[in-house]
Structure 1
């Protein structure tokens, strides 16, 4: 299924007009499909991957439209936009620590690719050049890191 990654990014880039956003959507789609594929075999993996990616784009657009449609007074009074309570700050600190632990479980190259993409915003070719890896391997490392972190965070949060 990883063979469709570049094709999917090109497809999403054409629709979204932003390659970096397209790569992020493609990563999220891959993670969702990989998480789902453990349950049952997917008859048409390429079609399922594209449908998942398009659904993520549609969901993102809907959230954006809803945020734009909220009147200013609702936003001012909405608790989500207030300073976080102490408990929320503690929860966030705990989540960050869990994320750090999950990243520490990854092989160094996988972790480095993920951090260069997510923290430094480097493109896949930039990461490949910096780490002297193929672009395909960089893409694989990032998808694997995202899947691993999601799975571990869910495991730890359910305890």
Structure 2
């Protein structure tokens, strides 16, 4: 079965358009194979692997689509700080202090992904490479950080 690993990664890379996601789905495919409860012999192992991988990639696509229901672009537009109102410097300073407090509550990887995106304007791929994680994990960290900051700012009386 292992001989199909590279073949499956290449197939999924073309299908998903993301080699890291393809490697993740391939790994999950093999984990599913190992976790099978029945001891039945698989008559067509290659077909079994491809069917499992295809199903997992469909699941990934669905999860990504659901996650994108609250698109990152929308979150970006909402912004945490409103820089269009320079006359409200005191209010912005307060917001900045609250934001820093909210960021301090995040895990290090979550905070790092958020700051790389929002402060250094890195792409998700650049962040994934710098942090050694998948692009999906980068997106999860950024979305979680945005949601956390929004909730905390709202709870503390700032704009959420």
**Could you state the TM-score of these two structures normalised by the residue count of structure 2?**
0.49
The answer to which structure, 1 or 2, has the higher relative contact order (CA under 8 A, 6+ apart) is 1
Which structure dedicates a bigger proportion of its chain to helix?
1
Q: Specify the structure having the higher radius of gyration (Cα).
A: 2
